[in-house]
């Protein structure tokens, strides 16, 4: 089956400097403060690598409802971009690229959460039926709202 690309994005404006936002987001130990999926899965177990804010740092999760997976920092571009790889292991195996992009606009920081990858025909069919992309945009938007609230407090 031929795969086709997909991309999901959401953005928010945060009243904080790019540097402040970048430094907070790059450290995976802060992720659960604004992770919308952890908020939905009260019994989620997670594990962090020893180093949490450098290339190679990992965030592993497992939950009966949400499944399991691992997020790994692939690249850090100071104050502008954090690239991660997301490996979904259960219920379905899939790999996606995650980008947390930062840019300044009128003294605020635009934070964009993007995820892209490839889907086979079965996954595209399931997405059409269950509207997973629409749900993910809502989850990303909720997470970014929590990030905004945390950084503007």
Domains of the chain with CATH codes: 4-152 (3.30.530.20)
Structure-block tokens of residue 12 = 């928010």
pLDDT for the residue 94: 87
User: In the block, which residue shows the tokens 């009260």?
Assistant: 42
Could you tell me if 71 and 85 are in contact, meaning their C-beta atoms sit under 8 angstroms apart? yes
DSSP 3: -
> pLDDT band for position 1 (50/70/90)?
low
Per-residue confidence at 39, pLDDT binned at 50, 70, 90?
A: confident
The 10s digit of each residue's pLDDT in 51-83 is 999 999 999 999 988 889 999 999 999 999 999
Rounded to whole angstroms, the Cα distance separating 111 from 147 reads: 9
Instruction: Select the more confidently predicted residue: 28 or 40.
Output: 28
Which pLDDT does position 91 carry in this prediction? Answer: 66
Q: What is the pLDDT of residue 120?
A: 82
Q: How far apart are CA 61 and CA 21, in angstroms?
A: 23
pLDDT band at residue 100 using 50, 70 and 90 as cut-offs: very high
The model's confidence at residue 150, banded by pLDDT at 50, 70 and 90, is very high
Mean pLDDT of 5-29: 97
Write the DSSP symbol of residue 31: G
Would you state the pLDDT for residue 125?
80
- Across 147-153, average pLDDT: 97
Neighbours of 21 (CB within 10 A): 22
pTM (two decimals): 0.91
Residue 23 has pLDDT above 70, yes or no: yes
């Amino acid at each position: 089956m031929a795969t086709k690309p997909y991309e999901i994005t959401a953005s928010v404006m945060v009243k904080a400097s790019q540097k402040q936002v970048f430094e907070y987001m790059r450290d995976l130990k802060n992720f659960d403060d604004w992770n919308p999926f952890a908020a939905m899965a009260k019994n989620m177990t997670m594990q962090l690598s020893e180093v949490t804010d450098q290339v190679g740092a990992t965030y592993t999760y497992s939950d009966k409802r949400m499944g399991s997976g691992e997020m790994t920092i692939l690249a850090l571009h100071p104050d502008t971009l954090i690239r991660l790889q997301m490996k979904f292991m259960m219920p379905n195996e899939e790999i996606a690229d995650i980008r947390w992009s930062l840019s300044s606009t009128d003294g605020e920081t635009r934070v964009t959460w993007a995820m892209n990858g490839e889907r086979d025909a079965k996954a595209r069919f399931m997405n059409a039926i269950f509207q997973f992309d629409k749900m993910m945009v809502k989850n990303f938007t909720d997470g970014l709202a929590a990030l905004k609230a945390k950084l503007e407090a």
